[in-house]
Amino acid sequence: MASIGDILLMIGDLLYWLAYTFYAYLDSLYRLIVPPALKSLHGDIALVTGAGGGIGSQICLQLGKAGATVVCWDNDKASNDKIVKQLKANGVKAFGYQVDVTSRQQVADISAQVKSQVGDVSLLVNNAGVAGYYQFLQMSQEEYDRVMDINLNCHMYIMREFLPKMLEKKSGHIVATCSMAGHEVFPYSLPYIASKFAVNGYMRALRREVSQYPSKPDIKFTSIYPITINTGIITNMVKLIPKRPWHEGIMLDPAYAGKVIADGIRRNQEDIFVPPSCRALLWLRMYLPTKAWWKLMDILEPEIVPLKKD
């Protein structure tokens, strides 16, 4: 049986939590009206994977514009060289490395080069990603493993290389491009969905773990949740057939996404939704009856048709 002291302690904890919750609501409301100032990235070394195209290249441009030295990683040398050249033309200090992020050894070797040639990475953006839009039973195990290696496993390889120095310096920023698919599902994308739910989970777990370190490092964590961005990761794999008038404009411009993401990083946001209105879907999912939620998805989603394999 709980003692009087235990009961008083629980009551004290509850009152403290209620007071803090009230403060958190007020702070959120204030920040909705007055967003935090954009921090300068001068002096930061930002490493972006999947830098050669899509959202990655736009993130690189925006981080460089904010003053960061940008380290571009991509397996496609031509596209990576192109973004590095564009960054340098904009007056940004930029470096490019061709890396297969699914290779633990390559990640270790190229990370050593970055540390030697550029310096300690203070802003890590795990952005490389690939889709797998096929019916599950038609997908080979090799294709499934490839999606998981690029979208999830490589994050672990890369963070093991750069997180220790951030912990030593007690500062840094880790960013992961997740997806709205890390919160909700859609057809023909089982490995992609699985990988993005895992990214969402590991970022929350790592943020919580680092907060428990006795040294209390000031390391920020940011998860990015885009919806449909007009990049090859989608358009090369599926055809989106509009069922409603609003489906015509469902594909967002990568430049818009890059700006929203970079601004969110510079404001130390823990979660960045692209577009920001996507956050409302999470509230709807929590409070709608399950049948009503699935019916809403039937209405909101365009028809998704996987492209046939060659």
The token pair at 159 is 């963070």
- Which residues contact residue 37 at a Cβ distance below 8 angstroms, ignoring those fewer than 6 apart? 267
Alpha helices in the chain (DSSP H): 4-33, 54-65, 77-89, 104-117, 141-148, 154-169, 190-211, 232-235, 254-266, 279-287, 290-300
DSSP class of residue 276 equals G
Say if residues 70 and 87 touch (Cβ distance below 8 Å). yes
Annotated active-site residue in 144, 192, 202, 225: 192
- How many other C-beta atoms can be found within 10 angstroms of the C-beta atom of residue 40? 11
Distance CA 141, CA 299 (A): 32
Active site residue 287: no
Q: Which residues are tagged catalytic? A: 192
